[in-house]
Amino acid sequence: MADILTAGQELEGRILATVRKSDTVAYETMKIMADAVKPMTGVIRSVTPPLAYDFTAQLLDSQRKFAEDVLHLTARLTSAPAK
């Protein structure tokens, strides 16, 4: 039983590490985009916030779908076997 718990904890750790890495990549991508747009902020200042909100909403939707997929996958692993 301890082996199963250890394996589960290792799997959780790997999943969390992957999510953290994904978050880091997303943050770095947004930072690069912000740095690239910064010189043009005077021209597009009124357009940037709505675009940023839309992008952020799409990013959160993507992460929500990923989290739901992980939950569905792990639910199958933890559900009681059929008799």
Residue 67 lies inside a defined structural domain of this protein? yes
2-37 vs 48-78: helix axis angle to the nearest 10? 170
What would the mean pLDDT of 45-54 be, rounded to a whole number?
Answer: 71
List, for residues 17-47, the tens digit of each pLDDT value: 998 898 898 888 888 888 887 777 666 666 6
Residue 67, domain extent: 2-78
Closest CA to 19 of 67, 53, 61: 67
Question: What's the structural domain count of the chain?
Answer: 1
List, for residues 61-76, the tens digit of each pLDDT value: 888 888 888 888 888 7
Residue 83 lies inside a defined structural domain of this protein? no
Residue 19 lies inside a defined structural domain of this protein? yes
Give this prediction's pTM: 0.44
